[in-house]
Amino acid sequence: MNITQERIDDLNALLKVQISAADYQDKVEAVIKNYRKTANIPGFRKGKVPVGQIKKMYGKAILVEEVNKLIQEAIYNYITENKIEVLGNPLPTTTDLDWDNTTEFNFEFEMGLSPAFEVNMDKKSKFDYYKIEADKKMVDHYTSDMAKRYGSMINPEKSEKEDLIMGEFTQLDSEGNVLEDGINHSASVALDIVSDKKAQKVLTGVTKDDEVVVKITNKFSSDVAHMLNISKEDAKILNSNFRFKIKNISRMTPAEMNQDLFDKVFGKNLVKTVTEM
């Protein structure tokens, strides 16, 4: 496995992850063997289903799941080991992978970076000290956010309000035709940060390969300039319909609240229950 980081600007970077069969093959084979022991398939005795039949029925799903687990763990380790201060979760931008005929996969993730800043203080500086009591709402929010941050990505059939949609934007003219020399750009859209409720509604409930028309103005989200690869000045005055062709839908599945998660977040065996956090 190979992970590289490409710095886009001070606040954005691109993570590139390259995975070969040597990285995932043993894990996939182990899961297939376990499936063989427990699979209940008509025409075969339990535990006697041929490995080839298991691969035919479940091989692709197992491969996708194990590669996804491997990627999530690798990205977490890369960010931790390199002490990268990130904002939110890295967002996948890769679509249309050939899981049936390829053994080496290349993934790309957009990553938001925390801005660097300095606080000038001296011995005379004074600050208010606040004692914050964590109520149930605050604890629930924290644990939910932590579970999402260390969760795994799945590809649902239909989009929901907190999903990430990857697709291609094509600007349209007033008559609904493709605008000559207009904006055409592939990008990902996190539905939970789309502030325009009408646009969010249009993008909710769509499936892969759907095409929808969505109006984009500077109220669409705070990320319009980056999303469409235009200047901030152009984004402020943008008021146009776009055809959006959906290429992929991703959903973050929260991690389970267990020892494995506690170890990743706090260190080995430092926390063993939610109440100790």
- Distance from chain centroid for Cα 175: 35
For residues 153 and 165, the answer to whether their CB atoms sit within 8 Å is: no
Distance between CA atoms of residues 131 and 194, nearest Å: 34
- Per-residue pLDDT band for 216 (boundaries 50, 70, 90) equals very high
Paired tokens of 243: 């055809």
Considering all CA atoms of the chain, what is the largest pairwise distance in Å, rounded to the nearest integer?
Answer: 81
- Per-residue pLDDT band for 203 (boundaries 50, 70, 90) equals very high
The residues spanned by each domain of the chain are 1-115, 132-151+254-277, 164-252
Looking at the predicted structure, is the pLDDT value of residue 184 above 90? yes
What is the average per-residue pLDDT within 177-186?
93
User: Do 164-252 and 1-115 fall under one CATH topology?
Assistant: no
pLDDT of residue 257: 87
H helices of 82-170, in order, are 136-149
For residues 93 and 185, the answer to whether their CB atoms sit within 8 Å is: no
| pLDDT 10s digits, 7-55 | 988 889 999 999 999 999 999 998 888 888 877 777 888 778 888 888 8
- Per-residue pLDDT band for 272 (boundaries 50, 70, 90) equals confident
What is the average per-residue pLDDT within 201-210?
95
What pairing do the DSSP bridges indicate for beta strands 164-171 and 184-190?
A: antiparallel
Q: Which of 29, 97, 251 is nearest to 159 (CA)?
A: 251
Q: Give, in order, the Cα–Cα distances in Å from 93 to each of 57, 107, 165, 268.
A: 28, 8, 9, 32
pLDDT of residue 235: 92
φ and ψ at 107, to 5 degrees? -120, 150
Distance between CA atoms of residues 77 and 217, nearest Å: 38
Question: What fold does the segment set 164-252 form as a domain?
Answer: Chitinase A; domain 3 (3.10.50)
Q: Which residue has the higher pLDDT, 20 or 134?
A: 20
Question: What fold does the segment set 1-115 form as a domain?
Answer: Alpha-Beta Plaits (3.30.70)
Judged by phi (left if over 0) then psi (alpha if -120 to 50, else beta), residue 188 lies in: beta
Distance between CA atoms of residues 12 and 6, nearest Å: 9
